[in-house]
Chains A and B, each alone.
Chain A
Amino acid sequence: QKEVEQNSGPLSVPEGAIASLNCTYSDRGSQSFFWYRQYSGKSPELIMFIYSNGDKEDGRFTAQLNKASQYVSLLIRDSQPSDSATYLCAVAFSGGYNKLIFGAGTRLAVHP
């Protein structure tokens, strides 16, 4: 059973702080990792994807991947109330096509 695990939260951070979201996955051979943001009642929208070990930065967002430890994280710098949403980690497992297994999501609340 291929699994993607996330802390459900809520993760509460003050405005301007760094929010750190974590995700672990079960298949060591997984190659591709995605972070989606989902506002309440809306569909998921892609924040970032990462394929290689290390950090990938895009604006206020940084994705971090450690394949040896089988975890991927998302850092949000200078958190804003508009970042309040559920963040979904998705993993494309090895040997397959583009079939994503999603974690249950972490709810982030940024308070002023």
Chain B
Amino acid sequence: GAGVSQSPSNKVTEKGKDVELRCDPISGHTALYWYRQSLGQGLEFLIYFQGNSAPDKSGLPSDRFSAERTGGSVSTLTIQRTQQEDSAVYLCASSLVAYSGEQETQYFGPGTRLLVL
């Protein structure tokens, strides 16, 4: 079946503009995660969704960042008033469930490369 998809694959924007990044999880996966990876760095957790609700937003770096998920499927990460330090690869992952007594594997999408000029 299809994997996690993300769009756009690349985004170049000017400082101060808003951007929206989209994630389509694997069909049937109830849990969805957003991560950020800066150049040469590890993955930084941003937010987690279980269904349409976000029990953990603790990783969002500032109030310029927000995310929503509708229909238990597609998720959108929005960055308002982008700054140069927002430049990174934004990765989305999904898993069948979030916590089942054993951890469920997270499958990653190809990422969106964001460059803020």
Taking beta carbons and an 8 Å cutoff, which residues of A are in contact with B? 31-32, 34, 36, 42-46, 49, 51, 88, 90, 92, 96-105
Contact = CB atoms under 8 A, between A and B. Distances in A.
Contact of B56 (A49, A97, A103): A97
A105 B99 contact: no
B77 interface: no
Residue of A36, A42, A92, A98 most packed against chain B (CB within 10 A): A98
Interface residues on B, range: 20 to 34
Contact of A98 (B91, B104, B111): B104
A99 B48 contact: yes
9 contacts: A36-B108, A44-B108, A51-B103, A90-B43, A97-B99, A98-B99, A99-B33, A100-B33, A100-B45
A18 B56 CA distance: 39
Q: Which 5 A-B pairs have the closest CB atoms?
A: A32-B103, A104-B42, A102-B43, A97-B98, A43-B108
